[in-house]
A and B are shown apart, each in its own frame.
Chain A
Amino acid sequence: MNENIIESEGLTKYYGHILGIKDLNLQVKRGEIFGYLGPNGAGKTTTIKLLLDLIHSTKGKVKIFGLDAHQDSLEIRKKIGYMSVDFNLYENMTGEEFLIFCQSFYSNRDKGFKEKLIKKFEIKIEGKIKTYSHGTKQKLALAQALLHQPELLILDEPTIGLDPLMQNEFLNLIKEQKSEGKTVFMSSHILLEVEKICDRVGILKKGTLIVTKNIDELKRTTERTLRVVFQKEVSEKELEMEGITKIEKEGNKYILTIAGNEEEILKKINSYPLFSLNFEEADLEDIFLRYFKNKEEK
């Protein structure tokens, strides 16, 4: 579980003078679903393209399965399944022809597994791909990524453009991959889906990885709001302590913004007689927005 499947070191990519990503140090562990977050243009697709050796880095290195992503690209791609953000398929092929075409690149050509995928994803394989719906095309794109039973699945915004029902179905399929021991590296800007299925996330901003954390840890260490109503007057000064970053007062009610040191803070607050105490759980969206807001301020 602790073995790094993806490991980058100072990975930098410039498109001419335009920055793609800068000094990216990323580790993705075997068997995890890693969510790669960031707004549009943050460098998510650039990272993925570097992993697949579709573009060449300006500086730095990436290792996948311990192999150099550029030098040993062919060997690496045998073990990777990839679905791109603007997945375009060979529209004049039928679904079946397309899957056979994709499967022919690999030595592992398990016909039974192909049939299993078609059945499981309920993919239409008759008729030309250009006649298929967006959802069916997307399922076909995911199926081609899974055909050779890869160890690592790289998905660039896999649920973009899907309706909520289909999105859910898709996320379940990705979760199944994890349960089969596969590693998933998934970029997204839909935070809810990342929160639902990812073990760890990396947040990317303007080409720089600003944080990589376990989702629970991220929630724990990110600023949260604590609403407290005291039975008696407590001065602001009494509440000043490590971990409390902001104090807002409305009569006996306090709104405290806290970041870390939760145990000590709660111990101190509980030493006063209380009417109520409420923790507002931050979801990933709040965390994401706070990260971006804080960094902007800095």
Chain B
Amino acid sequence: MIITKKEFKENRWKFVIFLLILLITEIIVVYFYPAFKEMQPDLNSKMIGMPKFLKELAQKQLSIITGYPAYLGSQWFEKNLKQFAVIFAILLAMGCLAKEAENKTLELLLSKPISRTRVILEKFITTCAGMFFITLIPSMIIYPLSLFWGRDINGLTMIQLILGNIVTFSLAFVILSYTFFFSVLFNDQVKTAVGGIILTLVFWLFSLFKLTKNLSIFTHCNSMPLFLKGEMTWNEVYLLFSVGILFMLLSIYAFNRKDI
């Protein structure tokens, strides 16, 4: 737990800032539900001049938001939380090992009686745990917040919110894992971030085309069935976690072979 403690201490401000950003966003999402509901019927008329495919896409997305749970699934889990989770995952993982290599403290760390596998696992687990809690806390606060503002929360349970968070976290887990892998390969935080961003963009592009859609991690991260039909997409979640674990194993392999 030596590295875990150090990592948590070093990243504590990042965790606090990311948590604050998510809390503020969440408050906005819950607060503006009545305004969104009022605007929803008029949105079609406001899309004049918009390209046809975008109009169709927006209409398709808006049509499924039939109630408050669907609104939360769409606007919180699928939009804001997902987008922030992608950014935070890259920002958290980019510094894990590359920062130590840049600062030349990795040499000091590895001169101590601790295995490379343990160093990497403790670093990764701390980052993942941090990521999980900064996404989970706002997702959990949604319930009391919704009750406070008198939102129609019937049918939405705390379990659904936790499961919705697991779906989003599975995406963040994959991004954390491959950015972490880049962090092992490059001794430079910028290169690591660029690697993470490029691969994320590639996955995002894959999600846009029918042919490559199934290869994208974004396609498999979908919490909407949970909020529309109460169905949890466990297979997709397992798939994403498996991809993440694969990248983690690759990181361990690469780190054990690396010259410091």
Contacts and interface: CB of A to CB of B under 8 A. Distances in A.
Interface of A: 15, 49, 52, 54-56, 74-75, 77-78, 80, 82, 84, 86-92, 101-102, 104-106, 144
Contacts of A102: 112
Given A86-B104, A88-B104, A104-B2, A56 B257 contact: yes
Contacts of B112: 77, 102, 105-106
A88 B103 contact: yes
Interface string B115-126: 100000000000
B6 interface: yes
Contacts of A88: 103-105, 107-108
Interface in B80-118: 103-105, 107-108, 110-115
Contact of A77 (B6, B111, B257): B111
Given A101-B2, A101-B6, A84 B113 contact: no
Given A54-B110, A54-B111, 4 more contacts: A56-B259, A78-B113, A82-B108, A88-B104
B35 interface: no
Given A74-B113, A105-B114, A89 B257 contact: no
Nearest to A154: B111
B10 interface: yes
Contact of B113 (A54, A77, A101, A144): A77
Contacts of A82: 108, 111
Nearest to B257: A56
B54 interface: no
A55 B108 CA distance: 13
B260 interface: yes
B10 to A, nearest CB: 7
A257 B192 CA distance: 59
- Majority SS at the chain B contact face: loop
Given A105-B113, A105-B114, A106-B113, A87 B108 contact: yes
Contacts of A75: 113
A49 B260 contact: yes
B250 to A, nearest CB: 18
A87 B105 CA distance: 8
Contact of B105 (A15, A80, A89, A106): A89
Interface in B121-169: none
Interface string B216-251: 000000000000000000000000000000000000
Interface residues of B, number: 17
Contacts of A104: 2
Given A88-B104, A88-B105, A74 B115 contact: yes
23 contacts: A49-B107, A54-B107, A54-B111, A56-B257, A74-B114, A77-B111, A77-B112, A77-B113, A80-B111, A82-B111, A86-B104, A88-B104, A88-B107, A89-B108, A90-B6, A90-B105, A91-B103, A101-B6, A102-B112, A105-B2, A106-B112, A106-B113, A144-B108
Interface centre among B10, B110, B115, B257 (most CB of A within 10 A): B110
Nearest to A49: B260
B121 to A, nearest CB: 15
B57 to A, nearest CB: 46
A77 B114 CA distance: 8
A98 B147 CA distance: 47
B260 A54 contact: yes
A207 to B, nearest CB: 16
Given A49-B260, A101-B2, A92 B107 contact: no
Given A101-B6, A104-B2, A52 B257 contact: no
B142 to A, nearest CB: 35
Nearest to A46: B259
Nearest to B104: A88
B105 to A, nearest CB: 5
Nearest to B107: A84
Closest 9 CB pairs of A and B: A88-B104, A55-B259, A105-B112, A82-B111, A54-B260, A77-B113, A78-B113, A104-B2, A74-B113
A102 B111 CA distance: 10
Contacts of B257: 56
Contacts of B108: 82, 84, 87-89, 144
B103 A54 contact: no
A92 B10 contact: yes
Contacts of A92: 10
B110 A52 contact: yes
Nearest to B1: A104
A77 B107 CA distance: 13
Contacts of B107: 49, 54, 84, 88
Contact of A55 (B114, B115, B260): B260
A87 B111 CA distance: 12
A106 to B, nearest CB: 7
- Tell which of B113, B114, B257 has the most Cβ of chain A within 10 Å: B113
Nearest to B112: A105
A89 B106 CA distance: 10
